[in-house]
Structure 1
Amino acid sequence: MAQIFGEFTEDFSERSEFLVLGFSPSSLPIQLRWKTNGLSADFLGDYVKNFFPGDTSAALNKQTEIRSAVSFVANELLENAMKYSDKTAGQPVNLEVHLFSDRLIFLSKNSVHQDAIANFQSYLQELTTSDIGEMYINQVEKSVDNDNDASSGLGYLTMIMDYEAVLGWKFEQSPNNIDIVMVTTMIQLPI
């Protein structure tokens, strides 16, 4: 049985375009993967901005804003998916971007370690019910106090604060192996 946190939809009937990328989280060490994550995120930003043509100043500004937002969100999703993926599960990491007339929807899907699920879901519960501004300030202070912490928790908060993103998550068993839990992260950006 699937568990949903935040706002999660599976209605993609009105999308006009989409792109799906797949990655093997165990093909490279995580340190080398960061560079490919950035390249992939920038590729998605360049890809999506082309659906907003025009050569006026306003159109060019819109393209720049969209490219920047897409690159940031895609990079954060890839980094999280790669970092927290259960490498022993042998499951790929998928990243999708779907274009709608009023929004972009990003989906990342990866396996997750059984022992990490409870803490992750607790964080998501807090994220979906707390004051985001206060939570953001607390996370910034924590990351400044502990600059060695690789998981600052600022990615999702920045998406909400800077890009008005709407977030959702779906946890479910893998259809291929009931011992593997998959998490799909959904980010909706207004355009």
Structure 2
Amino acid sequence: MSQIFGDFRQDLPESEQCLMISFSPCSVPLQQRWCNNGLSADFVANYLATFFPCNKDDPNSLKRQAHLKSTVSYIANELLENATKFHDENTTASIQLGTYLIQNLVILLATNCSSIRVANQLELVIEKLINSEPEELYIQHLEMLAEDENYLGSGLGFLTIIHDYFAKIGWKIEPLPSEVNLVRVTTMVQVRV
């Protein structure tokens, strides 16, 4: 049975601008995939920026496009890093990154397959994110990072997306009928540009 957490839209229109990219987890080693995440995030950001053309006579249009690129690049990279890091290496299912543009709303999705154990850990992070004040939780994570530079800050990327980009975030976790111990995890970020 599928579970929905946070702000996850299931009603995405098929007629809107959409870009989907799939990454084969078996094609290259993890370290190389990790390096490609930034390139892929920048590609998505540059692609979306074409829908917001610059007018050289309007400095606000240049600023808006630069803001869009940096926002989308950061969020897409964060989503891809999580999808790559938590993708179960025993499956041949692809990691997917998708983006929708609905007027001034950008929706970014990352989908990967994780073990049930990893999904249960994610649910604990989600619960903390949903039931806490984002500002307080963000400061706590930054303080932990200042005290211990090796602190990984479970959920810090999600918090940064919420705090710095005023984005809505949601998750869908659904069983895979063909895989008993795996689930499909889709993380969705919605941000106004």
Q: TM-score, normalised by structure 1?
A: 0.93
Contact 1:15–1:101, Cα closer than 8 Å, also in 2: no
Q: Which residue number in structure 1 is paired with residue 143 of structure 2?
A: 141
How many positions carry a matched residue from both structures? 191
* Unmatched segments (≥5 aa) in structure 1: none
Alignment of 1:172-191 (within 5 A): 172-191=174-193
Stretch of structure 1 that moved more, 140-149 or 45-54? 140-149
Contact 1:108–1:186, Cα closer than 8 Å, also in 2: yes
Write the distance in 2 (CA, Å) between the matches of 1:103 and 1:62: 13
Give, in angstroms, the shift of residue 74 of structure 1: 0.4
Q: Percent identity?
A: 40
Q: Which residue number in structure 2 is paired with residue 9 of structure 1?
A: 9
Alignment of 1:8-157 (within 5 A): 8-13=8-13, 16-55=16-55, 56-150=58-152, 152-157=154-159
Contact 2:125–2:155, Cα closer than 8 Å, also in 1: no
Stretch of structure 1 that moved more, 145-154 or 31-40? 145-154
Write the distance in 2 (CA, Å) between the matches of 1:143 and 1:31: 24
Write the distance in 2 (CA, Å) between the matches of 1:172 and 1:19: 22
Write the distance in 1 (CA, Å) between the matches of 2:19 and 2:77: 15
Contact 1:15–1:99, Cα closer than 8 Å, also in 2: no
Write the distance in 2 (CA, Å) between the matches of 1:179 and 1:31: 25
Contact 1:171–1:181, Cα closer than 8 Å, also in 2: yes
Distance 1:113 1:145, change over 3 A: farther
| Per-residue CA distance 1:116-148 (angstroms, 9 max, x = gap) | 222210110110110101100111122233323
Write the distance in 1 (CA, Å) between the matches of 2:167 and 2:96: 20
Contact 2:8–2:171, Cα closer than 8 Å, also in 1: yes
Distance 1:178 1:163, change over 3 A: same
Distance 1:147 1:33, change over 3 A: farther
Contact 2:125–2:154, Cα closer than 8 Å, also in 1: no
Contact 1:143–1:152, Cα closer than 8 Å, also in 2: no
Local SS of the residue matching 2:170: strand
* Unmatched segments (≥5 aa) in structure 2: none
Write the distance in 2 (CA, Å) between the matches of 1:145 and 1:85: 30
Cα RMSD after superposing both structures: 1.6
Contact 2:173–2:184, Cα closer than 8 Å, also in 1: yes
